[in-house]
Structure 1
Amino acid sequence: LRRHLQIQLDKPVHFEVAGSYQAASNDVVSGASHLGLLPYNTLTNTLQSDPQLHVLAHEVVDGSEASDGYLVVARTTKANDVKELVGSTICYSDKLSSTGYKLPRGYLRRQGLDPDKDFVAHFSGDHQQVLRDIVEGVCTVGGTYAGNYSTATQAGIPVARLRILVPFTGSTPHDGWVASRTADPEMVASFTKALLDFQPARDIGRERLGEKKRITGYVEPEPEWLNPGD
């Protein structure tokens, strides 16, 4: 993607991985980064901090504009209902994650459970580590998203030792690109066009971008995506 963007913008493009979701959000709000790619819940929280930020585009993954959340357990876990797991440890990826925090907690509440009182929280740091922690017994259950689960084998995670307990905790748009207030408007317009025009087969010679993310394009955000409510 970086090479494609450099060609389209005719200037160098530097990608940097932030230390956390919050750090990525802070960098965009402060202007330390001109642009940021943020998970959906992080993005909406960032917009609450600075409503004037401009959301450019969201990822399309395998032709889908949204991702489903899962609750995953070890295959040896006997429970068939999340209520049977009360008192156990639940793994979250990050407090600013949608499928790794917000959706699992919302699902638990809809089942009449209190995620803070009925479970012990453990923060794994990222979605792949959530699955590793379940395999290793750090936690009994964990929240993640469909794309992470389906590609985990490629990251060396023994998915055969896992199973999906809850196949739908909710749905959320994929990660979105957002521009800082300090970003040059002309550059932002060119960057947005490059994203929305991106066709993997034509531009990088592959059907998808990334074996894990499997991006097939980008789409403009729907208004309701930016005002998700509670």
Structure 2
Amino acid sequence: MPLLFDADQAIVLLKLVAAHLLTDFFLQPNYWVQNKERRKERSPYLYAHVLITGTMAGLFTGSVGAGLFVAVTHLGIDLWKLYQTQRSFKNFLLDQLLHISILIVTWLFLIEGFGYLRMVVVSFFGNFRFWAILTTYLLCTYPLGFAVGMSTSRWREQVAAKGESLNEAGKWIGMLERVLILTFLLNNQFEAIGLLIAAKALLRFRDDDLKLTEYVLIGTLLSFTMTIMVGVVLQMVL
């Protein structure tokens, strides 16, 4: 499979990302952000920020065209963000993904890499290892979480609630820990799995509700066991 880029080409992408991080986080004071949110397209700081962003990208890559393209697209993305009704992690994540996507497109233009990208994408879509790992990660999120929830449902009613819990916190904790376990297994980091189990146990050590502790322990060990079994099967298949 052909490589998408060599070390010199990778440096161009790193320069673009470094320029973005510097201008979007380090070189943008809080009062600029507040003024932009209040005045939107009438804020002079919006255009100052865009100018600095484009200039930094152009200086880092040595390309005036790249700087102009990054500046114009950055302005469009920031205007979209300013008109969102609320500041949320979802909007922040989408904003950064859009910026990074623009940087990748800019990078591919600079290194003339669209032909290589097409070959790599085609190779990935026909790669058994890629699809086996992707499918296993998908299995370890919602489907295994649903299986754990069904398996522990008979004890759920016996657990006495000790105050309100964060909405869907248990579901997300379970998915994240299963993703971590699978990642550790694929990289043969078995000690890290033991550390994760120990850390989870310590969080419940001082809980004086025996039923709740046993319920969490059962769910945790069941989640860990299922994920390890799935990971072992994946390693055998690969």
TM-score scaled by length of structure 1: 0.25
Tell me which protein shows more helix as a share of its residues: 2
Name which structure has the greater RCO, CA cutoff 8 Å, separation 6+. 1
Which of 1 and 2 has greater Rg?
Answer: 2
TM-score scaled by length of structure 2: 0.24
